[in-house]
Amino acid sequence: MTADGVGRDPDGVAARVREAVAVVRGSAVGEQDDGLRFYDDLGFDSVNLMELKFLLEGGFPELGGLSLPEMLTSLVSIGSLVEYLSLQLAAS
């Protein structure tokens, strides 16, 4: 669990994920919605996913290195990624 309580606060996780998605997309943070799908709605490709992975590793250092193959099933939408990371943080 982190000192700032992010593992207990899914909204904190969601905010970090939305910020990382916005950086990768070059858009405003407020344009991100949990229901947006990475491939279909946001147009992410493999390069974008790698960028997102590296940003998330920096945003959640307590998780260590994230495995993209393990994350693939959670990379459907912003909301599914938030859920995955929240579970990982709760287990750490």
The DSSP code sequence of 44-83 is: --HHHHHHHHHHHHHH-GGG-S--HHHHGGGTTBHHHHHH
Task: Tell me what pLDDT residue 74 has.
Answer: 87
Task: Tell me, rounded to whole angstroms, the distance of Cα 33 from its chain centroid.
Answer: 12
Task: Tell me what pLDDT residue 9 has.
Answer: 63
Q: What is the pLDDT of residues 11-46, one digit of tens each?
A: 699 999 999 999 999 999 888 889 999 999 999 999
CB neighbours (10 Å) of residue 11?
A: 10
Predicted TM-score (pTM) of the model is 0.83
Looking at the chain, the whole-number percentage of residues with pLDDT higher than 70 is 88
